[in-house]
Amino acid sequence: MFSGGGIEKRGISKAVNKRSSSRRSSSSSTGSGSTSGSSSGSGSSSGSSSESGRSNNSGSSSGSGSGSGSGSTPLGSPPHVQMASHESLNSESKSSSLNSKLGHESAGSPSAGSPSPPKSVCSSSSTSTDQHHHHQLAHVLSSTSKLTVREGTRTLRPDEPTLVPGEHMEGTAREVTYLCPYTGPKKGTLSVTNYRLYFRSPETDPPFELEVPLGVVSRIEKVGGANTSRGENSYGIEIFCKDIRNLRFAHKQENHSRRMVTEKLLQYAFPASHKLPFFAFEYCEQYPENGWTVYEPIAELKRQGLPNESWRITRINEDYELCETYPAVWAVPAAASDTDLRNVAAFRSRGRIPVLSWIHPESQATITRCAQPLVGVSGKRSRDDEAYIQHIMDANAQSHKIFIMDARPSVNAVANKARGGGYESEDAYQNAEVQFLDIHNIHVMRESLRKLQEVCYPHIDNAHWLSNLEATHWLDHIRCVLSGALRIADKVESHKTSVVVHCSDGWDRTAQLTALAMLMLDGYYRTIPGFAVLIEKEWLSFGHKFAQRIGHGDDRHQDEDRSPVFLQFVDCVCQVMKQFPHAFQFTEDLLITVLDHLYSCLFGTFLYNSERERMEKEVKTKTVSLWSLILSNPSDFENPLYNPATRHHVLFPLTSMRHLCLWDKYYCRWNPSMRPQEPVHIRFKELLHVKGQLERRVDELRRELAARQTHDSPRVTSAIV
């Protein structure tokens, strides 16, 4: 079935998508680096350049919704199965020439369309004509302004950024040279705030601007010494970023500016290491939509049809005592008592017992997630755990078998026995079949991304591109994750069999697999609010260790816990989007926005490691949610090719290597040569406008037809008796 890559149609409950529409265009680049490269709906190339977050699309290919429709139905397939298109076709026109103003190094250009700024709760913010939707930043300076502008009680110079609510200047260094790897040295002013680094050079027209949110900084190194530096631009600092870039700035020794800049960068780029709060706790913007309300666990379980006779909702972990890395609300088999849950938790790594992630609306086949059993070298067993897995299987009356999908290579699973872990024995778990999905651990993924960075930044070796990319094994890992998720979706949809998913601790590869399988099975998760719910549910509430995997505010760049697990998941989503361009309500711009704010620390969404930690830090009451930005500006991310009828389709993407490609719009976006010739988001805006007009016209014609049929229908009279 899924070797051909198809869509299977099935009924799924409708999503509720609240929309607000305030929009306006901006005339020059703005926005903070936290959106580094991902502007919602942007991708434009206009105005001044800005390598960092000013232009989210900085650099690359078409939006996600672009491309041809699904291909033809394969011979012998039922009529409700549609094939995925084998290639993702870009929607940009190649007829336009590159904008001459894009000769700057910038990651891309400022957004041509930006939302109206929301009201701020901080009195220090200023209003202006230029607005970047990601941070709702107001720029009071045009690209050619020579005047100073007052912001509150402080006078802003033309080379200083307009500050977001809660942001304040920490230091400014003049006569600094940015060593651009694409267009050469640029002299200007380097400013550091408690949120970002901002560089502006007046040498070009419009001025070159570069912004980097300090949360994206991985490490900072000094280059050259007072007595050892020889030659121009040999004395300065180099900044290594989590989003692939490396930035180098040269200072003049006689200005003594390097020390000040370095100290401020270290202090605010790594607040956790300096016992300072994350900037998210200082940021106090207000948005029309409250993103913290997008996911409510009980409401999401009710959307899936719970509770029912086979599954119940429990608050046994309300105080996070049974499992501190799990959410407060679980869905568990109705046949399992609270005592059973406690006994099972004692046999599962870190107390992470099998709990429900998703249930099929028709067959009642389920996806449950957990951590490995504590089998150990001696091969320990737990009657309670075995009975619990049986309860999960019995909850699905259409199947007398259950699959246990272990994300690890079998060798790793066996090796974990020596550390007290292991995997389920088919002899102990009756009617269960264990399958290993061969997805490597976080250390292998971290090394693969490091190699990919060398291939993509700063320069691309076109002559050896394919061999260099193959040597990174990045697409191999993407294929393994996608194939594993596809296998889970196929078991649930086609075989009507329940699946238990786990890796070692159940918060890395397990989250990748369950979230991707749910994305394929349930069209709700392919809408804008549904995708937010998917991330909140499978990643945030179930304890993916974002703080450790990303290193938020932590200066230990060599920490072994860091790994691009979530990045791989988003990459896999993009691969599916390219095969099914009509099945997603959002474009790649939403994915890039999510990734950029994964690092930025502008929002509180991805801070800390678990729901419990976020509750203790009062994240929901003291920070702004990323979903507030996205849900307040849905049109920035909306896919004009989206077909709502696909909500009832199951996606079976093709996962062979010849159908996968590098997500160059993200990984290669800093390279000016990778920019599209025409800003894709502009075409999307036009398509959305035309689509709206056509839909309104269709409604008018239907009303006219209904009125005509009513008017022309023959009069019916009752017989006279």
- Where in the sequence numbering do the catalytic residues fall? 503
The dihedral built from the CA positions of residue 391, 521, 506 and 532, taken in this order, carries a sign that is: negative
Here the contacts of 302-305 (C-beta below 8 Å, separation 24 or greater) are 303/13, 303/524, 304/13, 304/358, 304/359, 304/361, 305/359, 305/361
DSSP 224: S
Q: Which of 121, 3, 108 is nearest to 48 (CA)?
A: 108
CA 291 to chain centre: 15
Task: Please name the helix (run of DSSP H) or strand (run of DSSP E) that holds residue 684, with its range, or none.
Answer: helix 680-712
DSSP 64: T
- Contact yes or no for 302/320 (Cβ under 8 A): no
CA distances from 598 to 180, 284, 551 (A): 25, 18, 11
**C-alpha span between 503 and 371 (Å, rounded):** 6
**C-alpha span between 700 and 707 (Å, rounded):** 11
Decide the pairing of beta strands 154-156 and 169-180.
Answer: unpaired
β-strand partners of 339: none
- Contact yes or no for 54/24 (Cβ under 8 A): no
SS (H, E, C) 158-186: CCCCCCCCCCCEEEEEEEEEEEECCCEEE
- Contact yes or no for 437/483 (Cβ under 8 A): yes
Distance spanning both ends of the chain, measured CA to CA: 63
**C-alpha span between 447 and 458 (Å, rounded):** 18
